[in-house]
Amino acid sequence: MTAIQQIFQRTGEQLQRFRGVAAGVAVSVALSGCGVVNHMVYKTTGDVMQGFAKSHTMPYLLESGDLAMGCAMSEATSPLLLSFGRVTADPDQLAVMLYLTAGGCAEEEAREHELQGLMALRSLESEMAQDAMIRQKRAHALAAQRYFQAWQHHNAFYGHPDESECPDFDADMDEFVYMAGLLTGLQALAAEIQSTSSIGVPKNIGSVVARATSCLNNEKWWGAPMALRATVWAMIPGALPEGEDAFQRLEMADRQGEEAGVRLSHVFHAMAAMNKGDSERLRGVIRNHADSLDATPSNQEWTMVDKIATQMIVSISDRMWMENTGHRTPFGRLGTFWDDQSDAEVMDLEGLL
């Protein structure tokens, strides 16, 4: 073999080795590139989904009056929407609303179990009543977990109310989500207590929430921040500031909510009345709510909030009716009670005989 042939042979061997290395590098780059591309696609999709949900899905649902559909949506889509936090920024604001709604689903289930238990007790079916109460506690435990998750997402986005100043709100929706997050804190504690379990909800959360409501515009939000604060004053011993009257504040908030068509304050007022054991005040709140529904339609922009308030007032009325009659509030008779005196004139039949 000549020297020139040997040179060509060595060159060919080197080219073959180079092609092998190049092919390996190309495959490696391609595979890693797939991961990078996928990550970029997922991140972009997550950002789009989060932005769309905040700008369109939430406002759309808040304008809807179909609570069952909103409940189903939050339970079904929460894992999908919140999982995008693995590839982009955590959707904390969205999580507040989703877990708030999903917690309400579990709480509504707990109320149904409670009514079944009360019915069974009236029928002297002790085993059925006990089973219903067990299911009620389980549902409350699930509600507490969901509400508490909403509270944690609230704090992750806005900062813990006890450790930060009032946030600067970029838009009305930001402020609304802040208020909704405060509400989840109270609901988490209440649901935990009713479940007779412990999931770690701070016991001072009521006073924390009460202070944080000062960050909200009371007039703008239908009197709800003041009602929330007054409810804490009425329910926690020693919380009432000197010179304040919690129930007077609640009555003022009620009027604001009635005029705005968002009657959330009625729920807080009813809770405070139940805590005090004031049945006459509680009946008055329910009557006022029913009368207000006839006088003022729901605020179109916040229809779902008003419908949720009505749902909770109906549930309180149902419990009262069930305890005293064995059935729920008769359809179309919210604001009336089983022992109301009839206003109809009684005809004297003796004079006709």
Q: Mean of the per-residue pLDDT values for the chain? A: 87
pLDDT value of residue 222: 97
AA letter at 169: F
| 176 vs 2 pLDDT, higher one | 176
Contact 186, 148 (CB under 8 A): no
Q: What is the dihedral of CA 61, 62, 65, 69, to 10 degrees?
A: 30
* Backbone torsions φ then ψ of 48, nearest 5 degrees: -65, -45
CA–CA separation, 93 vs 79, rounded Å?
Answer: 15
What tens digit of pLDDT does each residue of 334-347 get?
999 999 986 544 44
- The residue with tokens 């989904």 is 49
Residue partners of 176: CB distance under 8 A and separation at least 6: 221
Q: Please give the radius of gyration of the chain, using alpha carbons only, rounded to the nearest integer.
A: 29
What is the rounded average pLDDT of the residues 305-321?
97
Contact 289, 313 (CB under 8 A): yes
What tens digit of pLDDT does each residue of 58-82 get?
888 899 989 999 999 899 988 888 8
Contact 104, 144 (CB under 8 A): no
Single pTM value for the model: 0.84
CA–CA separation, 306 vs 99, rounded Å?
Answer: 19
CA–CA separation, 152 vs 184, rounded Å?
Answer: 10
Q: Distance between terminal CA atoms of the chain?
A: 144
| 305 vs 163 pLDDT, higher one | 305
What tens digit of pLDDT does each residue of 260-294 get?
999 999 999 999 999 999 999 999 999 999 999 99
pLDDT value of residue 184: 96
What tens digit of pLDDT does each residue of 125-172 get?
999 999 999 999 999 999 999 999 999 999 999 999 988 899 999 899
In 3D space, the residue among 132, 79, 107, 284 whose CA is nearest the CA of residue 191 turns out to be: 107
User: How many percent of the chain have pLDDT more than 90?
Assistant: 70
213: enclosing H helix or E strand: none
Q: Looking at the predicted structure, is the pLDDT value of residue 351 above 60? A: no
